[in-house]
Amino acid sequence: MGGHAPLFYEDPLALQSGNGVWLENLNGDRYLDLYNNVPCVGHANARVVAKLSEQAATLNVHSRYLHEGVVNYVERLVGLHHDGIESAILGCSGTEATEMALTLARTVTGSRGIICTDATYHGNSSLVGRLTGLPVGVERNGVKSISTPQMFRPFHDGLSEPELLQKHLDQLEATIGSFADSGGFAGMMLCSILANEGLPNPPGRWFAEATAMVADAGGLVIADEVQAGFARSGSWWGYEVNDFTPDVVCMGKPMGNGFPLSAMAASHEMVTKFRERHRYFNTFASSPLQAAAGSAVIDEIVDRGLVRQVAEVGSRLKAALTELQSQHPQMGDVRGNGLFIGIDWVEPGTNNPDVGGAQRMVESLKSRFVLLGKAGQHGNVLKIRPPLVFEDEHAEIFLEAFRDCLVNA
Amino acid sequence: MGGHAPLFYEDPLALQSGNGVWLENLNGDRYLDLYNNVPCVGHANARVVAKLSEQAATLNVHSRYLHEGVVNYVERLVGLHHDGIESAILGCSGTEATEMALTLARTVTGSRGIICTDATYHGNSSLVGRLTGLPVGVERNGVKSISTPQMFRPFHDGLSEPELLQKHLDQLEATIGSFADSGGFAGMMLCSILANEGLPNPPGRWFAEATAMVADAGGLVIADEVQAGFARSGSWWGYEVNDFTPDVVCMGKPMGNGFPLSAMAASHEMVTKFRERHRYFNTFASSPLQAAAGSAVIDEIVDRGLVRQVAEVGSRLKAALTELQSQHPQMGDVRGNGLFIGIDWVEPGTNNPDVGGAQRMVESLKSRFVLLGKAGQHGNVLKIRPPLVFEDEHAEIFLEAFRDCLVNA
């Protein structure tokens, strides 16, 4: 598969099976999975498997024929969003969704300028890749970044929270303004929980105020819900948790519980304008198989009450971690909502990122049969993001291993 | 799903099930499918469905863990190619494969210039979309086109076949040369059977000579096998039919019989260089589910002897169509290999494309329960491209309907 294929762990894990929140390696060792958000309703979820198998045995074709299942699924999907989201185009990867969204924003506004944060990742195509690791002050082909809004490691020292908020908003305003004589301003793309940024808590009501400023300037607000969506933070969508109303949403990862499925959604008018201008056709998208997998995932989330369960289990887990934090100064900050919690690993007594310490925790937890990962601008944030079917009993198992690692790692 | 979603037929077809080469609509009418290349081993193929279901019920994870099935599949896939193809990266759509290939060519050569034909389609991302509908003489961000090589509707009149070949090669040489002082020449991307161009027969050994010229100039030859590959033309790969040796191959559509699966493959050294420079990670790619579907497709092609069957059934079908051509001057040219046959629909006695006539045939055949489509630079080429499991008895059913339409359409 070529050298340099990225693998997790010093000694990579060779897996053979999965079930719910558990993964099993080739030796039959069972690992508690606090990493994988994609199999959101559990590894090898029986309902998803059954629906997928049934549909595959019946029909799978591309979207130039009509299929009831596909139409119903898309209607159901947009119905889970706020009223302004009326229409969706399905794809096979998050990158396809974000690429469509950027192109839609440029088409609808007739302008080119896109804003993102300076520590984000929205995908890997030639267009979307321009948003990856873009320093503030640099323009990359119509894309500029703003400083990631955050309280824990603020981009200016010595400011009160309202002052810090204002500083961020001033920077955004200036960045929007800078597009005035170079192609105009098309919009801002934002992970609605700032996942790759490490789940920072922004000052004040940054999400609401920043997105209002974007709208006032005539730009579109694009919420990347690829990681945030589908109950991850204890609400259906990240933009509900952070209280803003996007014009465009991108969805992916958990949508099909691992079956390749993504979507870009917006108002009917915007999607129609996009389709008028751009030929978008994906052989494998909007297929009956995608609809079967996607519908089964929504069924599971609804019927098992996972939105509420995630909020409650996550809240208790976060409280337990916050309690541990008081005795363990390496845990600089505990952040997040629902079942997406970040622990900012630091040199004790400072807010200096301790990447090595975080990495040792990841390896140490693996040796105790618990899987999680790292994220964030500096790669020092422990990322707790299990399948949504993670329950209190699993949290207990994790916490026992975690406490042990804190003392012995 | 937004206005302007593209659908086939004046009265679109609402499907409910499929089996082998047959599709069934909501009224229970059965249609013979001569259009769909994606379900290559047949609609709802039992072996593919069983393997997919089994794997989905066992494990499906992303590629940052190791999985034997994925490693085995990739080895098997590259083993189907010539010896220079050693390593592959899996994706979820043909566009992802062609985007990787263009980026690889630029990375490996350190140059930017890409050449394609003026009537091609290799995908719809921002980067790959630059190759769509690009007129000769226009540069689009490092991409230039050459005239589609063809005998039936030559780009210069009054030339012998060797003269026409030379004219095409001269144009290619000049186009390569034109990159000398604007970024250098990285390579040529080519559907190895010129499918979207309408399956034209190029003059002489154009494929071999043009690709040799590309190699001599230090460029990479990229074969787009998304439509051509997997036995479609009666050989495993289109480049075998047309006798050239690509440095890079892109695969897609039929790979997973409808499960989203694509790949870019090249030498180990090239793929490693690509990985060193570019972060490419696809949540849904290189998954155990992709490997299960992909392996089952290869098993079916091998065990059922489909490469040979496609060559034989296709050859007899083409002969029957060529015979009809002598009595029906609308059939300007009958081209192609294996089970990919194009009929160039013309105003009788000329080589002027008759798009309306081709469209009437498509609709008329539908009313006789036969599905096929149109392709080509002018949209006037009837495209016969059934699942690979299409047999002589199906060809007879098609030919009866086709003869009827020729007389009564």
Q: What pLDDT, on a 0 to 100 scale, did the predictor assign at position A43?
A: 98
User: Nearest CB to A268: which of B2, B66, B74?
Assistant: B2
Let me know: does A100 contact A274? Beta carbons within 8 Å.
yes
Q: Kindly state whether residues B174 and B321 are assigned to the same domain.
A: no
User: Nearest CB to B13: which of A65, A260, A286?
Assistant: A65
Residue A8 lies in a domain: no
* Domains identified in chain A, total number: 2
Half-sphere exposure of A239 (CA within 13 A, CB side): 25
Contact A252 B283 (CB under 8 A): yes
Residue B383 lies in a domain: yes
Contact A44 B58 (CB under 8 A): yes
CA distance A157 to chain B (A): 33
Cα–Cα distances (Å) from A27 to A15, A16, B54, in that order, read 9, 9, 20
User: What CATH number is given to the structural domain containing B331?
Assistant: 3.90.1150.10
Residue of chain B with shortest Cα separation from A73: B1
User: What CATH number is given to the structural domain containing B232?
Assistant: 3.40.640.10
Number of CB pairs, chain A paired with chain B, less than 8 A apart? 248
Residue B218 lies in a domain: yes
Which residues 103-142 of chain B have a CB within 8 Å of chain A?
Answer: 103, 124-127, 132
Cα of A400 vs its chain's centroid, Å: 27
Cα–Cα distances (Å) from B401 to A98, A182, B79, B342, B389, in that order, read 45, 59, 41, 17, 19
Q: What pLDDT, on a 0 to 100 scale, did the predictor assign at position B134?
A: 97
- CB atoms inside a 10 Å sphere around CB A158: 7
Radius of gyration of chain B (CA): 21
Q: Which residues of A135-153 are buried (b: 16+ CB within 10 A; e: fewer)?
A: eeeebeebbbbbbbbbbeb
Residue A7 lies in a domain: no
- CB atoms inside a 10 Å sphere around CB B178: 15
Residues in contact with A356: Cβ distance below 8 Å, sequence separation at least 6, in sequence order? none
CA distance B347 to chain A (A): 28
Q: Kindly state whether residues B244 and B356 are assigned to the same domain.
A: no
Residue A12 lies in a domain: no
Host domain of residue A344 = 17-41+306-408
Q: Kindly state whether residues B334 and B373 are assigned to the same domain.
A: yes
Domain C-terminal end among B284, B303, B322: B303
pLDDT under 70: residue ranges of chain A: 1-5, 409
Residues in contact with A193: Cβ distance below 8 Å, sequence separation at least 6, in sequence order? A199, A227, A228, A232, A233, A238, A241, A242, A336, A337, A340
* CA–CA distance, B13 with B25 (Å, rounded to integer): 7
Q: What pLDDT, on a 0 to 100 scale, did the predictor assign at position B281?
A: 84
Which residues 41-60 of chain B have a CB within 8 Å of chain A?
Answer: 43-44, 46, 48-49, 52-53, 56-60
* CA–CA distance, B196 with A345 (Å, rounded to integer): 54
Q: Kindly state whether residues A74 and A31 are assigned to the same domain.
A: no
Let me know: does B76 contact A77? Beta carbons within 8 Å.
no
CA distance A397 to chain B (A): 22
Contact A87 B1 (CB under 8 A): yes
The closest alpha carbon to B266, from A2, A6, A126, A3, belongs to A2
- pLDDT, one tens digit per residue, over B111-153 is 999 999 999 999 999 999 999 999 999 999 999 999 999 999 9
Let me know: does B55 contact B289? Beta carbons within 8 Å.
yes
Let me know: does B313 contact B385? Beta carbons within 8 Å.
no
Residues in contact with A358: Cβ distance below 8 Å, sequence separation at least 6, in sequence order? A345, A374, A379, A380, A381, A382
ipTM beyond cut 0.90: yes
Sign of CA dihedral B314, B320, B324, B325: positive
Half-sphere exposure of A111 (CA within 13 A, CB side): 22
Contact B281 A124 (CB under 8 A): yes
* CA–CA distance, A118 with B181 (Å, rounded to integer): 35
Residues in contact with A168: Cβ distance below 8 Å, sequence separation at least 6, in sequence order? A146, A147, A149, A155, A202, A203, A206, A210
CA dihedral B3→A97→B284→A385, nearest 10 degrees, is -120
Contact A1 B89 (CB under 8 A): yes
Domain C-terminal end among B236, B268, B303: B303
* CA–CA distance, B313 with A20 (Å, rounded to integer): 48
Q: Kindly state whether residues A189 and A315 are assigned to the same domain.
A: no
Question: In the β-sheet with B331-337, what is the strand arrangement from edge to edge?
Answer: B331-337, B340-345, B381-384, B373-375
Sign of CA dihedral A107, A108, A109, A110: positive
The residue to which tokens 């920043």 are assigned = A210
CA distance A222 to chain B (A): 18
At residue B280's C-alpha, the angle toward residues B277 and B284, to 5°, is 170
Residue B2 lies in a domain: no
CA distance A98 to chain B (A): 11
Across B385-398, average pLDDT? 98
Q: Kindly state whether residues A313 and A297 are assigned to the same domain.
A: no
Kindly write down the DSSP assignment for every residue of B134-149, as one continuous string: --TT---SSEEEEPPP
Residues of B in contact with A36 (CB under 8 A): 61-62
Q: Kindly state whether residues B351 and B281 are assigned to the same domain.
A: no
Contact B3 A268 (CB under 8 A): yes
Domain C-terminal end among A271, A303, A335: A303
At residue A208's C-alpha, the angle toward residues A207 and A209, to 5°, is 95
Phi, psi of B216 (to 5 degrees): -60, -30
B3 has a pLDDT exceeding 80: no
Which residues 13-42 of chain A have a CB within 8 Å of chain B?
Answer: 13-18, 23, 26, 36, 38-39
- pLDDT, one tens digit per residue, over B67-104 is 999 999 999 999 999 999 999 999 999 999 999 999 99
On whether any CB of chain B is under 8 Å from the CB of A227, the answer is no
* CA–CA distance, A135 with A124 (Å, rounded to integer): 17
Sign of CA dihedral A222, A223, A225, A229: negative
- If residue A189 lies in a helix (H) or strand (E), which one and from where to where? strand A185-191
Residues of A in contact with B124 (CB under 8 A): 278-282
Mean pLDDT value across chain B:
96
Across B35-50, average pLDDT? 98
Cα of B15 vs its chain's centroid, Å: 24
Cα–Cα distances (Å) from A122 to A73, B18, B360, in that order, read 25, 37, 45
Give the 3-state secondary structure of residue B110.
coil
* CA–CA distance, A127 with A133 (Å, rounded to integer): 13
* CA–CA distance, A218 with A186 (Å, rounded to integer): 7
Q: What pLDDT, on a 0 to 100 scale, did the predictor assign at position A226?
A: 98
Q: Kindly state whether residues B94 and B185 are assigned to the same domain.
A: yes
Residues of B in contact with A5 (CB under 8 A): 63, 89, 275
Question: For residue A24, with 0-12 CB atoms within 10 Å meaning exposed, 13-18 middle and 19 or more buried, which class applies?
Answer: middle
Q: Kindly state whether residues B137 and B237 are assigned to the same domain.
A: yes
Residue of chain B with shortest Cα separation from A87: B1
Residue A58 lies in a domain: yes
Residue B140 lies in a domain: yes
* DSSP class of A149: P
Q: Kindly state whether residues B376 and B286 are assigned to the same domain.
A: no
- pLDDT, one tens digit per residue, over B167-213 is 999 999 999 999 999 999 999 999 999 999 999 999 999 999 999 99
B4 has a pLDDT exceeding 70: no
Q: Kindly state whether residues A341 and A369 are assigned to the same domain.
A: yes
Q: What pLDDT, on a 0 to 100 scale, did the predictor assign at position A279?
A: 78
Write a three-state SS string for B42-96: CECCHHHHHHHHHHHCCCCCCCCCECHHHHHHHHHHHHCCCCCCCEEEEECCHHH
- If residue B22 lies in a helix (H) or strand (E), which one and from where to where? strand B22-25
Residue of chain A with shortest Cα separation from B267: A2
On whether any CB of chain B is under 8 Å from the CB of A362, the answer is no
The closest alpha carbon to A179, from A142, A147, A211, belongs to A142
User: Nearest CB to A258: which of B6, B46, B60?
Assistant: B60
Radius of gyration of chain A (CA): 21
Q: Where does B252-303 show beta strands of DSSP type E?
A: 262-266
Across B339-352, average pLDDT? 97
B2 has a pLDDT exceeding 90: no
Contact B278 A15 (CB under 8 A): no
B1 has a pLDDT exceeding 70: no
Residues of B in contact with A53 (CB under 8 A): 49, 52-53, 56
On whether any CB of chain A is under 8 Å from the CB of B286, the answer is yes
Q: Kindly state whether residues B314 and B286 are assigned to the same domain.
A: no
Give the 3-state secondary structure of residue A101.
helix
